[in-house]
A and B are shown apart, each in its own frame.
Chain A
């Protein structure tokens, strides 16, 4: 019985630490208190929002493809989960990059609704 408990606890811990891209959509929608719109996400992602860059300046407007850093030229692996299984599987990374990149493109943090919309769009790409 005790062993079973340990196994169950280990399994639970393993599940809790690895997120899936859908988990982030759920989380941001919940934080926003409204459903996401993939269409709005596409518009947000591909147009400038006050800063010098849009998301697509580095990630391209078809993020199933690889991108390039707008300044350093460094290659960037595809952002869309369908093209890159590593994306949106680690909450610390997701939060880090939204924090930095929203600051770079909007000069502010992104709202939960904006993040939910982007997630919905990225998840819709095949």
Chain B
């Protein structure tokens, strides 16, 4: 029992850590990416997804999000430098193409699989891209279950 406790604590600590992201700083990334939505942690997608996304900002999920080339290159380099690692998991579709939507990645789907469609559609949530609707500390990179509060 005495041995179990530290092991359990370690496990809890590791699990908690897996759901929090360090938020590397970059002024242009923060300004440009958070003008229409929250600036998602770069670790949530692998480099190939970011590269594909930043290569076609004029058609960004149905919106024109184009920016000047100098900023586009700077933000791309920042995203590539901090892109996902092992815990990010698979971020490609069945055909092997890099996914652009974080919400379609295997990790996102696994973490949210118990949520019924109706919950997503609540006026208080509206979109799976609206992390902060339920993840009360998303702005600080904290996504652990402890800080989840699903609004009515």
Contacts and interface: CB of A to CB of B under 8 A. Distances in A.
Interface stretch (B47-55, B87-95, B126-134): B126-134
Contacts of A101: 64
A15 B2 CA distance: 71
B36 A69 contact: yes
B93 to A, nearest CB: 22
Q: Which 3 A-B pairs have the closest CB atoms?
A: A103-B64, A72-B37, A100-B64
Interface string A69-101: 101111000000000000000001000100111
Interface residues of B, number: 19
Contacts of B61: 71
A72 B126 CA distance: 8
B126 A100 contact: no
Contacts of A72: 36-37, 127, 129-130
Decide if the interface of chain A is mainly helix, strand, loop or mixed. Answer: helix
B32 to A, nearest CB: 9
Contacts of B37: 69, 72, 74
Interface of B: 34-38, 58, 61-68, 126-127, 129-130, 133
Interface residues of A, number: 12
Given A74-B35, A74-B38, A101-B64, 20 more contacts: A69-B36, A71-B61, A71-B62, A71-B129, A72-B37, A72-B127, A72-B130, A73-B126, A73-B133, A74-B34, A74-B37, A92-B68, A96-B66, A96-B67, A96-B68, A100-B65, A103-B58, A103-B64, A104-B63, A104-B64
Contacts of A92: 68
A74 B67 contact: no
